[in-house]
Structure 1
Amino acid sequence: MKIGKLSIIIPAYNEGGTIHLILNKIKAVELMDNIQKEIIIVDDCSDDGTEQAVAAYRAQHPQLDIKYFKHLRNIGKGASLHTGIAQATGEYLIIQDADLEYDPAEYNDLLKPVCNGFADVVYGSRFMGSNPHRILFFWHTIGNRWLTFLSNMLSNLNLTDMETCYKLFDTKLLQSIKLKEKRFGFEPEVTMKVARIPRIRIYEVGISYYGRTYEDGKKIGWKDGVRAIYCILKYGLFSGK
């Protein structure tokens, strides 16, 4: 599979102090097979200078293909992803959080099953492989594994990390799916809907994880876990559309 361009979608909310760091990491990555990078930043109505930080970075690095969009009100990570997905022009796209929990140096690990002709979708799992993983919250880990288990039951997949940020998709395939969830319900919704596509080829590769604490700016909470359960049931058991 020949890929000319990879769209990197970055949903951002109040990441003004660190977004330049993740952009530096993306800039440093040399993608396999001379794949070009399209960076799409969707600012979910930040009020901490994220817009100014992105503008300064773009001015300093005009050689980078960086597109910036800003929501007029805060409506959630999923809504930011909807905006980014609609704007993507690469043959494939990957989701990248604006924080430093995931390492862009591993893009090639996710691209390999696609470039070798095996996969249409690739998930990066924090729970497999030998890469580094920061030790953090016990109950978050239990919650993630339980949500993945429930998702697998209803999607008939055998993923180890449904909630992972790193998901690589065929762009046209993803753009053809009607997505509704505006917050963290995006993860179970997209998983359930992708799993129902006939003859879809989904792969999973191990990735590292440099998790943040709430003091560092982590935003997901227990209410998002409850919503994830609702979304798994809605889009799985009840085939919500």
Structure 2
Amino acid sequence: MHNTLNLAAPPKANPWKELKTLSIIIPAYNEEKTITQILDKIRSVLLIRDIEKEIIIINDCSGDNTEQLILEYMNLYKEIRIKYHALPVNSGKGAAIQAGILLATGEYLIIQDADLEYDPFEYNVLLKPIVHGFADVVYGSRFMGGSPHRILFFWHTLGNRILTFFANMFANLNLTDMETGYKLFRTDVIQRLYLEEKRFGFEPEVTLKMSRIRDLRIYEVGISYYGRTYKEGKKINWKDGVRTVWCIIKYGLLSSRHLKQEATVKTKQVSQL
């Protein structure tokens, strides 16, 4: 049975007055080809309402020069708020995101892949429903609107739509893109979620657990998408799709826990992930 604890604060007349900082979580694994480029893009973005940026990079035990490039960038641009944490072992994208969530101090946070598939210049598109007081969570959909999309694989698109359909069925939502990499959350809400998935199962888990929070306002906006091929470094495969199906069943039917214990929220450290 779903817990109906209401974590969503009532709408405010001027919500942007409370939104001073956006935390940007970058899970990175062997991204030496693109990590500097994505940081340059983020640095160049001017957020609406003069919102500041807090960049949080979680290195998932990369075996290439990702760490060296990050440290060099931090030394070169000392005026930028960058937090860096290296996981001791390769733990997966979900584990890296969880580590970043614990480090976030902004009122809202967004997940940014390091591979250039998602464009940081669209942060403001996702922020608009927030600053206008409509939303607590915003998903960036690759299947809405007229923004540019690289044409890639039919079966990936079909699989995404099927997975989104089943997630919607269990969550009682009408999302068009559950698997999107662009998800913007209220930090105080997502830090209360009990998250378990260490790899690509994070997407269905967070969606289904968010859906259990009464009165949480979830919005979708259209975004562009510059997808990679496997040759260019795309990491997700059919096994991750199977895992996603299992996660939808697990968190939609079998598991009722979606919130941390209060003491856990206050004391859990990144090193425990």
Paired with 2:209 and 2:137, the residues of 1 have a C-alpha distance of: 12
Where do 1:1-241 residues align within 5 Å?
Answer: 1-2=15-16, 3-241=19-257
Q: Distance in 2 between matches of 1:239 and 1:47?
A: 35
Corresponding residue pairs, total? 241
Q: Secondary structure of 2:74's partner?
A: helix
SS at match of 2:101: helix
Structure-1 separation of matches of 2:55 and 2:122: 16
SS at match of 2:160: helix
Equivalent position amino acid for 2:28 in 1: A
Partner-residue secondary structure (3-state), 1:180: coil
Any idea what SS the aligned residue of 2:83 has?
A: strand
Consecutive unaligned residues in structure 1, runs of 5 or more: none
Q: In structure 2, list runs of 5 or more residues that go unmatched.
A: 1-14, 258-273
Q: Secondary structure at the match of 2:189?
A: helix
Aligned AA for 1:145?
R
1-structure distance, mates of 2:21, 2:140? 19
User: How far is 1:39 from its partner?
Assistant: 0.2
Equivalent position SS for 2:144: coil
In 1, the alpha carbon distance for the partners of 2:255 and 2:216 equals 18
Letter in 2 for 1:127: F
**CA–CA distance in 2 between the matches of 1:17 and 1:138?**
27
Moved over 4 A (4+): none
Distance 2:67 2:162 in 1: 37
Tell me the alpha carbon deviations over residues 185-214 of structure 1, each in whole angstroms, 9 at most, x when there is no partner: 000000000000011100000000000001
The one-letter code matched in structure 2 to 1:13 is: Y
Task: State the superposition RMSD in angstroms.
Answer: 0.6
Given that residues 14 and 46 in structure 1 are in contact (C-alpha distance below 8 angstroms), is that contact kept between their aligned partners in structure 2? Answer: yes
- AA at the equivalent of 2:33: G
> Radius of gyration: which is bigger?
2
Deviation per CA, 1:134-176: give whole Å up to 9, x if none: 0001100000000000000100000000000000000010000
